[in-house]
Structure 1
Amino acid sequence: RTEISPEALTTMAMSDWVLAPLLLPLRENANRNRSTWLQYCPLCLGEDESPYFRRQWRLASRISCFVHGCGLRDRCPACRSAIAVFDQRDLVPQHFCVRCGFDLRTARKVSVKGGARRLERAIADIFRVELARSPTTESSTAVRDVVSRVLRASAATDDSLAMSLTSLASMARIRWFEQLAGEPLDWLVADKDAAVTHRRWSILAAGGQDRLVACFADFLDKCQARPRSRRLIRRGAGGIGLADLLAAYRRVAGDRSSSKLHRDL
């Protein structure tokens, strides 16, 4: 009836998503210390032509906005109710609280320490890199392993956080990430495959996959003694991409064919 194929509808759902164990649970009532179903960034909603809630905001492993660097909220700051856009009594835009009508775009920014944001981004990039590997079954197994480590880590690192990460309110998860950022992270990166361990450590050390690629591109250009023009890395967006890396590699490698460059990488 919608004239949308079953395949397209399936991709719009999250039930078969490999990161589904990290989804925040839907609760009819949640006290102050318990998680709620949905998080949001007020600045993102304010910049949207038609405000909408991002899929990534459902993940318990996300505590901040990668675009604006502020913490995600999971409640209306006016009435402290959970965000329940599906429970509207009237047809109003999603960015208004269904309980009191507060405009979520005007909520104050929540601060998150830089170390916690770098760790959060590194975890997200480890997921992204593992999902990009082939074959698919191997990458899914690796992602599920990292997901289980992240879910277990909250209780393992702090006795006061006996609940699973998905059960914690946004502010509690922010505090957990800030604490965790200053402790050893072997629980996250250690793997029986030394190459996997090295790759994850590299992502953590660089503060994310995009910054790691940027450092590698800089290194290649220095080898060629032709520093590339300085580029700003946008917070939260793509930053230095594969095209920049290939361009730097091509300058170093000389006349190698494009296919050989891809194969080498």
Structure 2
Amino acid sequence: MSRGDATDSDESVDYTDTELMITRAAQELRNDDTVLVGVGVPNLACNLAKRTHAPDLQMIYESGTVDSNPDALPLSIGDPVLATGARSIVPMYEGFSRYLQGGRVDVGFLGGAQIDKRGNINSTAIGDYGDPTVRLPGSGGACEISSNAHRTLIIAPHQKRRFPESVDFVTSPGYLDGEESREDLGLRGGPEAVITDKAVMKFDDDGELYVETLHPGVTREEVQAATGWEIRFADDVTATPTPDADEIRLIREELDPDGVYTGGGD
């Protein structure tokens, strides 16, 4: 869905919801960050950041490639293109033990079927665990990422079924019952932002989500209607910065020219 246009100098730029999510996620990344990343939107966000404001960003993929610089879009974490220009290729075990559990990963990207108001993620089961309505794929490496990365970024469509007040099952811990409960368990870091197709949300000092920015054309009422609890808005809530012409060119011409993850392409 096209959300309108961004302005780069005098040039009007059309963009989609997905492209806005990619560019906003990229802005959360800092130069010199080490990021544990998968495919899809997180991969596009990391590669966009590396080509713009964070040239020294280092990407680690779950398959074990360290400091990858893929020259084409990877279609899975096992895609051989991830070995392109990589500093090293290690067993998956070492990627999780030495790098992630060892505290060497700054940022992890996550998503899930449910995300609650404290950033807890469910990718295990909808409904009762013993007799679920839907059995989901499970954690994979998500629990390890959420427990050990210094910051986690969550990307998901903004739908009421995805944002209940409390998840049915905590697959990947956010701030649990509050920020102190995470610290009590000895977990590193915590979720830093939730980026959706409607808004960017951050966490307050007690580990509860609030809306920091609204995407252009999105109202508070739309966000509230798509959220399963009475969500708070920042006192100075502003519009989410929109993509510029160079970011859109990089996404469409270099990072995902066939629209595999953005839905564009020729």
| TM-score normalised by the chain length of structure 2 | 0.23
Q: Looking at CA atoms only, which structure, 1 or 2, has the larger radius of gyration?
A: 1
